[in-house]
Structures are given as C-alpha cells and as structure tokens.
Amino acid sequence: MIEKIKEISDAVSEKISQITSLNELGDLRVRYLGKNGEITALLKGLKNISAEERPSVGKHINELRQKVDELLNSYEERFITFQKEKKMKEEEIDVTLSLPDKNACGSLHPLTLAKNELINAFTGMGFSVLEGVEVEEDYYNFQLLNIPADHPARDMQDTFYITNKILLRTQTSAVQARTMLSQKPPIRVICPGKVYRADDDATHSPMFHQMEGLVVDKNVNICDLKGCLDEFARSFFGADTRTRLRPSYFPFTEPSMEMDVSCFMCHGKGCRLCKGTGWIEVLGAGIVNPVVLDNCGIDSKEYSGFAFGIGIERCAMLKYGIPDIRILFENDLRFLRQYK
C-alpha cells in the first residue's frame, strides 16, 4: 500500500507539470480526488488492511490527498492569473478614448430636415401635401404634361423605362396631372417625393427628391407666382433673401422661368458658392401651359395656374454647405451627427 501511495504521488507530480489548461487540470482532479478517483479508492481499501497498519497507512493516504489537493489548487490559481493577464493584454483599453454616449439619440437626415422646412413654408401659405406612385404610366408622366413622344426627356438615356408605357417617374408633376384629373379648381398642392433619371455625378443622382407645386384658379398670374416664391425663399433661406426670375423653357409651362436667390453666404457680394455672381439658381417655374389644363379636363379659358419644381437635395446642399450629392446617400454617421 505504501508503494502504491508513492507511485500515485510521483504520477501526480509528473502529470501536473504537463497540464496546459484548466480543463486538463479538472480532469486530473477527478482522476485522483473524484468519487471514483485513485486516492479515494485507497481510502476505501483501508478496510482490507490489518488494524495494526491501518492508522499509519491512513495517515500517509490523507497526507497524499492533502498534497495533491494543494498542488492542484496552486496550479489552478496560477492558470487563472495567467489567463487574466493574457486577456488584459489582448483587450487593452485606451483610457484616452471618450466613452460612448449611452444617452445619444438619433436625428433627422439633412434631406428630411430640408423637406420638412419646404413643406412648412408652403403649407403655411395654404398648400396641401399630396404624394403619388413612383412607378408611373407614360400617360401621366409625359403625355398629359405636353411632352410629346419625340421630346428629349423621353430618351432612354434619361429615363428608366420598365415597359414602353411604364417607367420610374422622372418628376412629381405626374401627381399634379392626376390631381387635375380628379379635382376641380381651385387647386393648391405640393407634391414631394422620389424621382428617377439616368444621371450620376457630384451634383446629380439616379434617384433624388423633388417637391413640385401647383396652383389652379381663376385669374392666377405671374405676380401670384412671384409672391409665392418670394415668401418661400425668405422662409427657407432667410428673411433678407432677394429673388429674381430669368426666362427659361419647360413644355408644361408658358411662359417658363428659373428663379435665383441672392447668395446667403456673401449677401450678393460674390463668393465661391455663387461663383462670384451674387446669385444662386434654386428652381424652375412658370404659368401652367393651357394645353396641359385642357389635357386634364380644365377649361383654360376660365382657369389659369402656376407651377414650380424644387430639388430637395439642391436646397439641402445649399443650406448646409454640402459639396457632393453622393454624401447624402452614404449613411456616414460622422456626417449625419452634424445635424443633431
């Protein structure tokens, strides 16, 4: 029995020096000190030893058990300390970094901010907000708006066609056409939404947002249009903003014009934003072409109207100093956090 005790003691010392993990250490504890372990078996075997030898042998077995238990505990503490030190080295904390703000909350996207401001400006003047479908029929998107089949706007280079008669709308004017077909004057609506054109560079995107406005009533003229747009410009760009109208061409308005606003950075003196002119182009507008009114079932001899189209991205880029339209769609949190 004494020889067996010495044999187990030597075996434990040898095996514990080869341990490489806490799992192996646990297996070794079970093997020798577990319910069916080798040292436990020695204690159970004392009943087979003579009464004279039993005290001496039992003493040696208990000493062995205590020695093995202390040795295993010592190695266990050593392994735990080593693993903690290793983990701390692998997971070093840079105390110079700022802690994440647990109370941080999201904010509206700059496009949403610009759109909301535009809506507020026009609803304050009595306009209603209408939205329409983005997959539109050629009939509403082009035909009703005096854009014939041979017009450049219908070119496959500019328009995303699904079939010959179905396309992704190129303008929210299609909502205006549907409105004139379904409602009788007076009409005063704005139509914000996504539109699609095959164009992509620093100032153009294949998908962008427009807000078009329409007023149809008796005796509507350019003075009404200018007064409406002046009020919008002061509301969105600042109370001291001045406007000017320049002749232009759109098939659904006659006469057509583009509106510039005085540069809100240099106040008309000339800077990089306005390219030294003191003016910034903002939108297109005009008096609704009588052909469009008649196409939509409204008597052009009794009613007249004006319409305008505003690029929401352009307004956002101007107001917030954004140089590239593509930044608006990259979802870079560093950029978006500026608009909290």
Give the tens place of pLDDT for each residue, 37-68. Answer: 777 777 777 777 777 777 777 787 788 788 88
Burial class (CB within 10 angstroms; exposed 0-12, middle 13-18, buried 19+) of 315: buried
Q: Are 177 and 155 in contact (CB under 8 A)?
A: no
Which of 1-5, 126-130, 144-148 is the most confident on average? Answer: 126-130
Beta bridge partners of 217: 304
Output the pLDDT for position 69. Answer: 83
Does the pLDDT value for residue 81 go beyond 90? no
Q: Does 262 have pLDDT greater than 70?
A: yes
**pLDDT tens digits for range 310-319:** 999 989 888 8
Q: What is the mean pLDDT of residues 69-96?
A: 80
Return the pLDDT at 1: 64
Give the pLDDT confidence of 153-206 residue by residue, as tens digits. Answer: 777 667 888 998 899 999 999 999 999 999 999 999 999 999 998 877 666 788
* Residue 30 confidence (pLDDT): 81
Distance CA 316, CA 100 (A): 29
Quote the CA–CA distance of 63 and 66 in Å, as a whole number. Answer: 5
For 315, residues 6+ apart whose C-beta sits below 8 A from its C-beta are: 114, 118, 236, 282
What's the number of CA atoms in the CB half-sphere (13 Å) around residue 130? Answer: 23
d(CA 190, CA 213): 4
Per the prediction, the chain carries an average pLDDT of: 86
